[in-house]
Amino acid sequence: MPVIFDKSMRREDLAANEVITLLTITSSPPETLEAGFAEWRPRALSAAGMLAAILDERVAGTEVFEDAILFHKGEFLGAADIRGRVRTYLPFEVNPTDQRALDRLAELTASESSPVARAARLYRRAALEGPTADAYAMLWVAAECFSEHRSPSRKDIEEALKAGGLDPDGLPISIGRLIDLRGKIQHHGVESDDRLTLAFYEMEAVVRTLIRQEAEIEGGWWPAADNPAGFSAPFDAAVAAAQQDRETQWHKGDLPPVEIPTELRVPRRIANPHLDPRLEIDPRIGASAPLLAAWVLDAIEWIDPEMSLRIDFDRPPNAPSDLVSAANAERLWLSEEIRDPATLSKPEGFVSLVWELVRMVGVAYAQRIGIESRGNGVAAVEAMGAWLQYLRLVKHGEFPAEDLAIPTDTDLLSLGKLAGWAAAGDARALARVEDLKGDSRDLATSLLAVLAKIPLAAPVHLLDGASAER
């Protein structure tokens, strides 16, 4: 992070025996060449459109190249690729949710005159154009395909996003500001705006959501490229910060050698998590299902994105009456008291649920990789759950470490919790491990060594201030 693109150009003969239209515009020197390209391209395309309107489209038909040939006082200065913007894409592999959306797409039948087909054509043209004023306006025309009004209202778009499993209030740019920018572009001729790039990608995501809803397709990537909202917290902030620090370097001759990039499994943000095929949720859980699913998937994305679990409603057979949660390699269970909506409406109830869910995913993962919850394995399983719990919610979350009660007992569960928190970086827990004696110390220190070797799926170094070399 951030992504680096190396571009080079070769000069070749192009469009032999074809009539080429060259567009000449006059401009004062820009502050940077990239700023000049952003200004020159729409001016040139406008000139081509005006010429075609007076004659016909044959004078400015298929685009065969797009270079800027620079002159000053009649003297040739050089030629450069006018495409200053290079689009990036989210580093996400196709997961089961994406595959389900693709399977549904294979079954879709839509006439070319249907709203979803018209919107898809417009969406594609806008996406290929990139974050320009024209493309932004085109996305709004695509959105209009689904509205009974002249243009979709703020309420229409917010309801569509909510149905897609997203919170409109959590978007980088509010729907109201998106509408305001549209008006400035379409009615006041605004061509450049500080918000345009981010607004384009956000509006693109809105249109994608509308298309999916009309086609009854669930799952798949929600956000467009370059949108930090596609990543799970707290990685969204790290991605946004990385994207703000962009620079361009021009090289004469060959490009310098670069290292092969390292794969990053950055946790993605999941829309409608209770519908994710990695989870099977007992329907009797009811209204609490989306919240339970969101945090279970968040924890899964951190430790093993391919992991799947079932969330049960009924208490496990032969479980002690005082048990409030349980987990094995395949299933999770929470007592009705913990998942009760009335309990979750209170801050302490919500925190208790999240705290327990993340631990349970760690416990399930430990058993999934072959650790049996018997003998000293009880401590090992508990250590894995406490380790993930601390990493996610304390070290890379908002749970205050000082609120944790460090175990003083030496039973297996206490030793596991102590070792897990110590391995995740809690100084008090580590000091307590060092004060242990005999078998308790041996077990706790051996668990520390094991946990140090467990790889996380999420690249937490991005959150620790580490930055890749450019």
Peptide linkage before 234 cis (omega within 30 of 0): yes
State residue 326's pLDDT score: 93
| Closest to 276 in 3D by CA, of 107, 106, 96 | 96
Please state whether beta strands 309-312 and 279-281 pair in parallel, antiparallel, or not at all (unpaired): parallel
Chain centroid, CA 14 distance in Å = 40
Site of tokens 């994305």? 301
**CB under 8 Å to 102, separation ≥6 — which residues?**
94, 220
Site of tokens 């567009």? 23
CA distance 139 to 338: 44
Instruction: Give this prediction's pTM.
Output: 0.77
CA distance 21 to 1: 40
CA distance 270 to 450: 31
13, 254 contact by CB (below 8 A)? no
Query: Per residue in 135-156, is it b (16+ CB within 10 Å) or e — as a string?
Result: bbebbbbbbbbbeeeeebeeeb
CA distance 420 to 432: 12
Structure tokens at 344: 């979750």
389, 362 contact by CB (below 8 A)? yes
- The sign of the CA dihedral 399, 401, 405, 406 is positive
pLDDT of the chain, 470 residues: tens digit per residue: 455 666 666 667 777 888 888 888 888 888 877 778 777 877 888 888 888 888 877 777 777 777 788 888 889 888 776 665 666 666 677 878 888 888 888 888 888 888 889 999 999 988 888 888 889 999 999 988 887 777 778 888 888 778 777 778 877 788 888 888 888 888 887 877 778 888 888 888 888 888 888 888 877 766 555 567 778 889 888 877 776 666 667 777 777 777 777 777 888 888 788 988 899 999 999 988 999 999 999 999 999 988 999 999 999 988 888 888 999 999 999 998 888 888 888 999 999 999 999 999 999 999 999 999 999 999 999 999 999 999 999 999 989 999 999 999 999 999 999 999 999 999 999 999 999 999 999 999 999 999 999 989 988 888 875 333 32
374, 340 contact by CB (below 8 A)? no
Q: Which run of H or of E encompasses 154?
A: helix 154-163
Q: Where are the chain's structural domains?
A: 1-86, 108-231, 273-461
State residue 88's pLDDT score: 65
State residue 224's pLDDT score: 53
